[in-house]
C-alpha cells in the first residue's frame, strides 16, 4: 500500500469521525428540542443506538471502498481524532447549516403537510356532520317504530 493511499484512507477515517459526531450531535439536538411527550423523546435511546449502528456500518462501508475492508490499528484513532475535530472546529458551522436546513426545508414542508392535514380533517368533519344531520330524522322514526310497548318478563 503506497503512502498516498494510506494518507487518503487516514483522511477518510477522520472524515467518518467528523460525520459520525455530526450525526450523533444532530440526534441529540433533535431529542433535546423535541416535545416532552413526543415519540422522539420516548424512544431517544433506541434512536441513538440505531444512529450509532448506522454510523458504524457507514464507516465500515467507507473503509471497504477505500481499502477493501482492510482495518488498520490507526483507524479508531483517526475516527476519534475526527470526533475531536468536530467538537473543536466543526460544531458551530454544522449547527448553523442544520438550522438553515431546518428553517428553509423542513419547517415549510411540515407546515404544508399540517395545513393539508387540517383541511382534509375539516372537510371530512363537515361531511360527517352533514350526513349525521340528514340521517337524524330517519333515526328518530326508526327509534319510535322499534320501541317495544311492553317490558320483557323478568325471570
Residue 82, pLDDT score: 93
For cell 471502498, what's the residue? 65
The band of 155, judged by pLDDT with boundaries at 50, 70 and 90, is: low
pTM of the prediction? 0.69
Rama region for 71: left / alpha / beta (φ>0; ψ in -120 to 50; rest): beta
Name which of 89, 100, 98 is nearest 18 in CA terms.
89
Q: Greater confidence, 30 or 148?
A: 30
Residue 149, pLDDT score: 63
pLDDT in tens, 58-110: 988 988 888 887 788 888 899 999 999 999 999 999 889 988 988 899 889 99
Decide: 13 and 79 in contact? Cβ < 8 Å.
yes
Amino acid at each position: 500500500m503506497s503512502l498516498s493511499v494510506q494518507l487518503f484512507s487516514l483522511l477518510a477515517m477522520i472524515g467518518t469521525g467528523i460525520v459520525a459526531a455530526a450525526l450523533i450531535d444532530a440526534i441529540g439536538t433533535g431529542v433535546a428540542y423535541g416535545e416532552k411527550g413526543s415519540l422522539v423523546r420516548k424512544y431517544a435511546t433506541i434512536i441513538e443506538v440505531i444512529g450509532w449502528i448506522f454510523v458504524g456500518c457507514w464507516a465500515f462501508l467507507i473503509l471497504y471502498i477505500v481499502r477493501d475492508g482492510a482495518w488498520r490499528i490507526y483507524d479508531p484513532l483517526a475516527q476519534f481524532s475526527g470526533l475531536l475535530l468536530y467538537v473543536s472546529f466543526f460544531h458551530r458551522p454544522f449547527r448553523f447549516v442544520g438550522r438553515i436546513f431546518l428553517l428553509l426545508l423542513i419547517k415549510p414542508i411540515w407546515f404544508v403537510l399540517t395545513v393539508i392535514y387540517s383541511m382534509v380533517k375539516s372537510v371530512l368533519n363537515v361531511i360527517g356532520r352533514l350526513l349525521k344531520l340528514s340521517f337524524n330524522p330517519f333515526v328518530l322514526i326508526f327509534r319510535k317504530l322499534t320501541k317495544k310497548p311492553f317490558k320483557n318478563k323478568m325471570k
